[in-house]
Structure 1
Amino acid sequence: MFRWFENRLNPYPVEEPTAPPTGLIPFLWHYSKPAAPYLALMAFIAALVAFGEVYLFRFLGDIVDWLSTANRETFLADEGWRLAFMGALVLVLLPGLTIFSSLLIHQVLLGNLPMISRWQMHRYVLRHSMNFFANEFAGRVSQKVMQTSLAIRETVMKALDMFVYVITYFVSMIFIVAAADRRLVIPLLVWIVVYAALLWYFIPRLRKISADQADARSLMTGRVVDSYTNIATVKLFSHAGREELFAREGMDGFLETVYRQMRRVTQFQALVYINNAVALFAVAALAIRFWLESSITVGAIALTLGLVMRIGGMSQWIMWEVTGLFENIGTVYDGMSMMAKKHELVDADDARPLVVNKGEIVYDDISFHYGKEGGVISGLSLTIRPGEKVGLVGRSGAGKTTMMNLLLRFFDLEGGRITIDGQDVSKVTQDSLRSMIGVVTQDTSLLHRSIRDNIAYSRPGATDEDVIAAAKRANAWDFIEGLSDMQGRTGLDAHVGERGVKLSGGQRQRIAIARVFLKDAPILVLDEATSALDSEVEAAIQESLFGLMEGKTVIAIAHRLSTLTEMDRLVVLDRGEIIETGSHRELVETGGVYAVLWKRQSGGFLAEDDTVAGEAAE
């Protein structure tokens, strides 16, 4: 039975995720739409339960009147059918509705509804550009995905379940009391007006505080996660104390919003209690007066006082529910500011998969500035022939890595175009583009999964034999065989820790190289691919790297110029412009900028000196 209800709502919608609207109601509807029929049914049942509970008070008043005047000998004969109906309401109808409502809420909605939001948000965030993630804490993004999805559930379900229940309850109460004695409705209406005024005054203020609190919570969490993510840096500089203060500033900001919220809650609670007490006193006083005048029955008094005491307790519940509701609304608003951001990089409407037959790459008069003044790359043109191996040389900031990022379309060009076999990279699908390019970067980041998963990430479905062959070609198999983790998993099953922290830099780099070996893409980009390797290991895999390059178009970036000497052609960049091109031998013999860089190497690495180009010119 439980499984049947749990399967009523698919938590993983297959539709492609789209940018949600920015208004609160449209934003909530965007993520709750798949669950709309079940949410409507939940609200309808809440209304039925509210009406049934109010009707029980009517029955209580009737019982008091019956018992006051009824003949014991004929009581069951006279009122038996009413008693049977109320027995069925108490024993069958209300429990049945409550059980069905519980199955609907707990089995259908509570788990599946936030997962629908979480799934859609996660898929949408994954498709954001690199620029988006460069400007956000990873912990902050993940926290907002998790918090916002839960807040959407709480907001939608509380609003429907609570408000429908409360409105039905209050409306039914007014009609029931009016049927007993219209005069007793007056203090109840006054109570409702005062209570509504208190809600009208406090709710916007609590909502504002809740929005501030959600933002402060995200900042606090982001600071804590940032410390954990960069724990090696914290330890290296002995800054645990400094990180404590950094986190405490965030915690202080969050705690201040909690204090502000609790002050308002205390004021709200005190005024609500006073309003309840006055309402109870007024109704009781009027009821006694009318009884003394013999114008009201004892049953009507029992009915009215029972309802007033019930709504007194309910008002406290409503207060806490409303407070929680608007705390969640604040969280939704906070998450909306991030989740509603449109993708900076999207596939063109008519984008087709990239087809690579030869591997020719053409940078055609490209310009790109990262949105800053001054040119990173301005009017650069470069043609890389099919199967050619080109090394990019230049000091930091010359534009080498930018050229790689633009080829992969991590950013869109501001001018010109880049083509692969004549196909504009901005006109093909991003997934197909990146599937045709194997990349090894200097900053190798591994997933917190097994060695097997990390290597096979480039080719899902690869066999263990394929994975092992790639690891051997990258000179990684020897250390993989000896790996084990805290759970006792060994070899390919061993997990590498967050970002591969359990491995050395050289080991991470070899796993990354093995991953590209397995991918076997027709275009290869090496961005400081061997910088984390010692000379002995580098020499051991150099032959394998050249084997990997065979038949591929290669772009290699390295500060260690000795790794580029075997390239077919070297391209020297300075401030986003090509200033020299030729083979290693040709450039050294020419005596230009590259020759100066070659001579000024220290330990085989490129010297970082802005005056090098000037010296060469002299």
Structure 2
Amino acid sequence: MLKSYFSKFIDPMGIDDTSQPPTTVYRFFRYYLDPIRGLLLATLALSGIATVSELLLYVYLGDIVDWMGDGNREGFFQEHQTALIMMFVVAVIIRPLSLLASRGLISFSLVVGLGNRIRWHNHRYVLRQSLSYFQNDFAGRVAQKVMQTGNSAREAVINVIDGLWLLVVYLVGIVWLFVDMDWRLLAPVVLWLCGYALVIIFMVPSVRGRSSKLSEANSQLLGQIVDGYTNIQSVKLFATNDQEDAYAGKFMRRHTEAFRNLMESIFNMTVALTMLNTALVVGTAIISIILWQQDEVSVGTIAIANALIMRVNQMSGWILRSITSLFEQFGTVQNGISTISKPNEILDAKAAKTLQLSQGVIEFENMSFRYSDDNQVIEQVQLKIKPGEKVGLVGRSGAGKSTLVNLLLRFYDVHSGRILIDGQNIAECTQQSLRANIAMVTQDTSLLHRTVRDNIRYGKPDATDEEVMRAAKLAEVDQFLPKLVDPHGNRGYDALVGERGVKLSGGQRQRIAIARVILKNAPILVLDEATSALDSEVEQAIQSQLTQLMEGKTVIAIAHRLSTIAAMDRLVVMDAGTILEQGTHQELLAKGGLYAQLWERQSGGFLPEE
């Protein structure tokens, strides 16, 4: 019941937008904390009440010691009845309730809700990043940043409440009490506070910097380890265990050195704090004894003062650790922001419209593209594909065929010219609607670590089981399903395929990819070496289904094995990012150009490298 009550204040998935997270630490925290500022203020208030109540317990202890010193044992309860009732209310009702309420808000709302709220928003933003964003980084490193940044932001907030806020309330209370008892008792506290401030000012910042370096070293190490695990087949195939050890070991040593540097800073602070705390306890004890000898303070006052100082001495270590952790978390958040909050290179236009596809006419108008300033890939391409036309893209590796398709899908933006579908500039349409109208089978098929059924249904999330099975049958997936069993005993459509589909052969993965494209049934179809991983028998069986699938669709097909696309309506021959030739198979052979040379040289169904 209590869990349900406190959990309702923060919905971890309550942020509905996918906008870019702020790029500075201050704005980052403000963005996520502004919506819950009422909850934060309530938590601070309840925590403050609990802390003040604890301070009052020490005052009550001093009062009781003084009352007991008066020696009136018989009339003790009658004489102090009202004060004792107030002490009972504070100790038994106010303090426990405020403490438990603040801990409930912290434990169920902030600890659980806030961190996951930040992670969820960051994940949704990163998921919508451009393709190049993921191509230029480790997936493991990016995932670690998303998880770690949310956790660190949450811990920073908790450290402010449980560390900094508690210290402020305690110090204000001690100053007020000591001034009321005897201002001279404040001398050790003021000196201690000055030393404590110097430790925070001069020592804690180095912890923040070294924590940021440790966070980056940790991310790099994780990225390298995950990279090795992801490519474990290559590691085994080339017997490079020692090489991988050496490569990951380099990052492990960096991580170890960064960790030692951070521990050095923390140890130096511990030394300074130990000296300060020793001086505070001894100084307060000496002044208390002197004032007592001069009969200027009571025994109860000495009990209050020294008990509070011992409490501060006990708290100072973990409060400093909280403050240190706060700076560490700031450093980690700042490091995470540099990865998570990168601007998205491919954005929908402000007034982006939904692509309305009626015929399927594709036009590349005087289009040019380059990955970098000195790497021109596509140059002045002019190409129009008619509704329902089947076009094959031909050329050597690096000619720009796959890049042309990636530009059509708007994985990258063109540098000049434009791409039109049914007269609509794709840069002015939403990416979601554009890609919803294009189905693609790639040469390197990666599956999600889910069931066969889930992977096929990825092409149409609302598809029925009957539709999934029909697509599987057309793509010859049902031929290998009876023998497919995962380690959990799941069979057939319910079997997990492993990370990136590693439990399946290349041909099996390709058939599942074709099945989900059949299920998607988009009006524009792109085939990038769609049957390259299939053996001849299965390819022949699936080719007829692909032919049926292509009926009534605008098709762009890429293949090195020219025999697979020779029957297309038109072949477009590319070289060095430009279009050299166009025509049917027979027309291009008759021209005796590049296509004819490639056809003549082709051996074993593949093109030689230039």
The interval holding the TM-score normalised by the smaller chain is over 0.9
Provide, for residues 358-382 of structure 1, a one-character-per-residue CA deviation record: whole Å limited to 9, x for no partner.
Answer: 1010000000011231421111100
The SS at the match of 2:142 is helix
The amino acid across from 1:268 in the alignment is M
CA contact under 8 A between 2:66 and 2:300: conserved in structure 1? yes
| Deviation for aligned residue 1:132 | 0.5
Residues 35, 109 of structure 1: 8 Å contact kept: no
| Matching residue of 1:228 | 229
CA drift of 1:35 comes to 2.7
- Report the CA distance between 1:280 and its aligned residue: 1.1
> SS state of the match for residue 51, structure 2?
helix
Question: In 2, Cα distance between the equivalents of 1:135 and 1:589?
Answer: 44
Q: In structure 2, what is the equivalent of residue 616 of structure 1? A: none
Counterpart CA distance in 2 for 1:332 and 1:558 is: 46
CA contact (8 A) 2:21 2:122 kept: no
Moved more, 436-445 or 19-28: 19-28
AA partner of residue 544 (structure 2) = E
Please name the residue that 1:336 is paired with: 337
Q: What is the match of residue 353 of structure 1?
A: 354
Query: What TM-score does the superposition give when structure 1 sets the normalisation length?
Result: 0.97
Contact conserved, 2:452 with 2:493, CA < 8 A, in 1?
A: yes
CA contact under 8 A between 1:377 and 1:575: conserved in structure 2? Answer: yes
In structure 2, what is the Cα distance between the partners aligned to 1:371 and 1:499?
Answer: 29
Alpha-carbon shift at residue 73 of structure 1 (Å) = 2.0
Deviation track 1:47-73 (CA, whole Å, cap 9, x = no partner) reads: 111211111111111111111114112
Partner of 1:47: 48
What is the match of residue 418 of structure 1? 419
User: Shift of the alpha carbon at 1:469?
Assistant: 0.7
Q: Which residue of 2 aligns with 1:198?
A: 199
1:189 corresponds to which letter in structure 2? V
Corresponding residue number in structure 2 for 1:112? 113
Contact in 2 for aligned 1:42/1:161 (Cα 8 Å): no
TM-score normalised by length of structure 2: 0.98
Residue matched to 1:27:
28
Give 2:292's aligned residue: 291
How far apart, CA to CA, are the structure 2 residues paired with 1:555 and 1:490?
35
**Residue in 1 that maps onto 2:166:** 165
Instruction: Point out where structure 2 has 5 or more consecutive residues left out of the alignment.
Output: none
Displacement of 1:23 in angstroms is: 2.1
8 Å contact 1:118–1:146 — kept in the other structure?
yes
Q: Hey, what does 1:402 align to over in structure 2?
A: 403
Q: Give SS of 1:559's match.
A: coil
What is the aligned partner in structure 1 of residue 477 from structure 2?
Answer: 476
Q: Deviations over 1:104-155 (max 9, x none)?
A: 1112221111111011001100110001011010000000000000001001
Matches within 5 A, 1:142-541: 142-541=143-542
Q: Whole-Å Cα distance in 2 between the matches of residues 100 and 417 of structure 1?
A: 60
Residues of 1 paired with 2:556 and 2:131: CA distance? 21
Aligned partners of 2:164 and 2:322 also within 8 Å: no
Residues of 2 paired with 1:68 and 1:179: CA distance? 21
Instruction: Tell me which moved more, 416-425 or 373-382.
Output: 373-382
Which AA in structure 1 matches 2:8?
N
Measured in 1, the distance between the counterparts of 2:423 and 2:570 equals 21
Q: Offset of 1:190 from its aligned partner?
A: 0.9
Distance 1:404 1:522 in 2: 15
Identity of aligned residues (%): 46
Q: Aligned to 1:304, what secondary structure does the other structure show?
A: helix
Which digits, 9 at most, give the CA deviation of each residue in 1:491-513, with x for residues without a partner?
11111000000000000000000
- Cα distance in 1, alignment partners of residues 544 and 361 from structure 2: 24
Distance 1:75 1:407 in 2: 90
Tell me the amino acid that sits aligned with residue 607 of structure 1. P
Residue 587 of structure 2 corresponds to residue 591 of structure 1: no
Q: Work out the CA distance in 1 between the residues paired with 2:164 and 2:323.
A: 10
| Corresponding position of 1:74 | 75
Aligned amino acid, residue 487 of structure 2: M
Find the aligned partners of 1:505 and 1:372 in 2 and give their Cα distance. 36
Q: CA deviation at 1:241?
A: 1.4
Give the whole-Å Cα distance in 2 for the aligned partners of 1:240 and 1:421: 53
Query: Which deviates more from structure 2 when the two are superposed, residues 121-130 or residues 74-83?
Result: 74-83
- Give the drift of 1:14: 4.4
Give the 3-state SS of the residue equivalent to 1:265 in structure 2: helix
Q: Which amino acid aligns with 1:436?
A: N
2:127 counterpart of 1:129: no
SS of match in other structure, 1:572: strand
Counterpart residue identity of residue 590, structure 1: K
Letter in 2 for 1:22: T
Q: What is the distance in 2 between the residues matched to 1:79 and 1:23?
A: 57
The answer to whether the 8 Å contact 2:15/2:121 transfers is: no
- AA partner of residue 570 (structure 1): L
SS at match of 2:556: strand
Q: Following superposition, which runs of at least 4 residues in structure 1 exceed 3 angstroms of deviation?
A: none
1:615 is matched with: none
Q: Which amino acid aligns with 1:89?
A: V
SS of match in other structure, 2:373: coil
Paired residue secondary structure (1:375): strand
Q: Secondary structure at the match of 1:111?
A: helix
Deviations 1:256-285 (A, max 9, x none): 111111122222112111111111111111
**Matched residues in 2 for 1:368 and 1:71: separation?**
96
Q: Cα RMSD (Å) of the superposition?
A: 1.1
Contact kept? 1:50, 1:166, Cα under 8 Å: no
Does the residue aligned with 1:458 lie in a helix, a strand or coil?
coil
Write the distance in 2 (CA, Å) between the matches of 1:14 and 1:202.
Answer: 37
Q: Which runs of 5+ in 1 are unaligned?
A: 610-618
**Separation (CA, whole Å) in 2 of partners of 1:306 and 1:14:** 47
After the TM superposition, which of the residue ranges 174-183 and 370-379 deviates more from structure 2? 370-379
User: 1:89 and 2:71 equivalent?
Assistant: no
2:456–2:512 contact (8 Å) kept in structure 1: yes
Distance in 1, matches of 2:291 and 2:8, equals 56
Assess if the C-alpha contact under 8 Å between 1:28 and 1:156 holds in 2. no
Q: Distance in 1 between matches of 2:103 and 2:310?
A: 26
CA distance in 2 between counterparts of 1:363 and 1:30 reads: 41
The worse-fitting range, judged by mean Cα deviation, of 135-144 and 587-596 is 587-596
Q: CA deviation at 1:490?
A: 0.8
Aligned residue in 2 for 1:13 = 14
**Cα offset, 1:84, TM superposition:** 1.2
Distance 1:134 1:439 in 2: 19
Offset, 1:161? 3.4
Q: What's the CA shift string for 1:538-561, capped at 9, x where partnerless? A: 111111110010110000000000
My pick for the range that moved more, 271-280 or 398-407, is 271-280
CA contact (8 A) 2:507 2:534 kept: yes
Which letter maps to 2:501?
Answer: G
Deviation at 1:296, TM superposition (A): 1.2
In 2: Cα distance, 1:591 partner to 1:249 partner: 55
| Residues 201 and 14 of structure 1, relative CA distance in 2, 3 Å threshold | closer
Task: Kindly indicate whether the alpha-carbon contact (under 8 Å) linking 2:390 and 2:569 is maintained by their aligned counterparts in 1.
Answer: yes
> 1:102 — aligned with what?
103
Q: In 2, Cα distance between the equivalents of 1:303 and 1:324?
A: 31
1:559 equivalenced with 2:560 (yes/no): yes
Give, in whole Å, the separation in 2 of the partners of 1:22 and 1:408: 29
Provide the C-alpha distance between the structure 2 equivalents of 1:374 and 1:455, rounded to a whole number of angstroms.
37
Q: Secondary structure at the match of 2:418?
A: strand
**Contact 2:482–2:491 at 8 Å: present in 1 too?**
yes
Give the AA of the match of 2:295.
S
